[in-house]
Amino acid sequence: MAPFTSLDIGNITLRNRIAISPMCEYSAIDGVPNDWHLVHLGSRAVGGAGLVFTEASAISPEGRISAADAGIWNEAQQAAWARIVQFIKTQGAAAGIQLAHAGRKASTDVPWHGGKPLVGVPGAWTPVAPSAIAFDVGYAVPTALDAAGLRKVVADFVAAAVRAREAGFDVIEIHAAHGYLLHEFLSPLSNRRTDAYGGSLENRARLLREVVAAVRGVWPQPRPLFVRVSATDWIEGGWDIAECVELARWLKADGVDLIDTSSGGNVAHAKIPVGPGYQVPFAARIRREAGIATGAVGMITTAPQAQQIVERGDADLVLIARESLRDPYFPRRAAAELGVKIPIPEQYQRAW
C-alpha cells in the first residue's frame, strides 16, 4: 500500500514513506545527546519508520531553544550522534538531522518547568533575530543581526553540516519554520530590516538561500537536503502560502530535494484551525505548483490518513510526530491495518 512503497530521494532509498518528525526532547546536557536519545530514536527505527529525524539540533549555543536542547556545534556532540546514527541505520531506517537556530525564541525553560522565556536570570542569554522585536510579552528583545552576525549564522550551519556528514547522517533538514531564526527572516511580521535582507520576498528569503547554498557546498548533491517551512503565519499581513510556493520554486533551483511543510509558530496568538491533517493542503499545493517533493505533517494519526495523503499525491512523505510518541511502533501498526508485511527484527519475530 502507498505509505509502504519505497521512496528514492537523492542518493538514498527509504524503505517506506513514513518518517519520524523532529521533536525536541529537552534532555541533552551541554548539547550532547545521551542514552535517552538513543532509546527514543532507536525505538522509532525498530518501529519500522523509513526515516528517523533527530530533534531540532542547534548549530550554536545561542541557537538553542533551551539549555537542554541537543546540538551539533562541537566534537562531543558529533561523536554522541554518530553512535545513535549507527544504531538507527542497523535497523533499516535512514537517519536524518534537523539543523536549527531558535532566533528570538531562544533562552527558554524546558516545557515541564513551564517553558517560559528566561530573561535576566542565571543561565539566560540574549537571543538574536532579524529585527529587535520580541516574540511576545515577557520575551527578551533580541539583538538584530549585523553583517558579521549573518556571516556567523551561515558559517555555523556549514560547520554543523560537516559534523552531520562525519557523524554518518543520511539526510539534513534545515529548519526554517515555527518562528525560529530563518522563518523570522521570511516573515514581514518579524523582519523589519531595510537592508538586503528585508523588504521584498527576494530579500527576506536571502539568508535561507545563502544557508542552503553554503550547506550544499559541504553536503553536495545527490545527498538529500530538506527544508522545513511554515507555509503560513495564520495572520493577515504575515508570511503566507503564496510566498511559500515561490520560495519552494527557488529552493528547488538551489538544490533542495523536499519541502517539509508545517505552519505557524511566528505569532504568539495566531488563531490556527488545528484538526486532523490540517496542514496537508499546503504540502499538496507546494508539490503541485512548485514541482518539488513535499512532506506532510500535523495531526496525522491513522493508517488510512497516511494512505490517502500518498495515494492522492498530496505529499511524497508522511511525517509522524506526537502519534509516534504515543506509539513508537506506529508504522508496524499501520502496516498491519493496511495488510502490508514489513520486515520484523529477528528478536521480535515470535510476536508476529
| Distance from C-alpha of 241 to C-alpha of 165, rounded to nearest angstrom | 32
23-27, 57-61, 314-318, 342-346: least confident range? 342-346
* 78-113 pLDDT per residue, tens: 999 999 999 999 999 999 999 999 999 999 999 999
- What is the three-class DSSP state of 227? strand
Q: pLDDT category, 344, cuts 50, 70, 90? A: very high
* 182-217 pLDDT per residue, tens: 999 999 999 999 999 999 999 999 999 999 999 999
| Distance from C-alpha of 264 to C-alpha of 247, rounded to nearest angstrom | 16
Domains of the chain, residue spans:
2-346
Annotated catalytic residue within 26, 180, 329, 348 = 180
Q: Are 229 and 244 in contact (CB under 8 A)?
A: yes
pLDDT over 70 (residue 286) = yes
pLDDT for position 134: 98
Q: Which CATH class is domain 2-346?
A: alpha beta
Segment 14-24 mean pLDDT: 98
Q: Are 240 and 263 in contact (CB under 8 A)?
A: no
Segment 7-28 mean pLDDT: 98
| Distance from C-alpha of 300 to C-alpha of 321, rounded to nearest angstrom | 8
146: CB partners within 8 A, 6+ apart: none
Told to judge if 180 belongs to the known catalytic residues of this protein, a careful annotator would answer yes
pLDDT for position 1: 60
Question: Which residue from 81, 68, 11, 23 is spatially nearest to 49, judged by alpha carbons?
Answer: 23
Question: Which residue from 293, 342, 294 is spatially nearest to 4, judged by alpha carbons?
Answer: 342
Q: What residue type is assigned to position 240 of the chain?
A: D
Q: Tell me the longest C-alpha to C-alpha distance in the chain.
A: 64
Segment 229-233 mean pLDDT: 98
Q: pLDDT category, 352, cuts 50, 70, 90? A: confident
pLDDT over 90 (residue 159) = yes
Cβ neighbour number for residue 112 with a 10 Å cutoff: 7
Q: Are 352 and 344 in contact (CB under 8 A)?
A: yes
* Matching residue, cell 533551483: 253
Q: Are 9 and 54 in contact (CB under 8 A)?
A: no
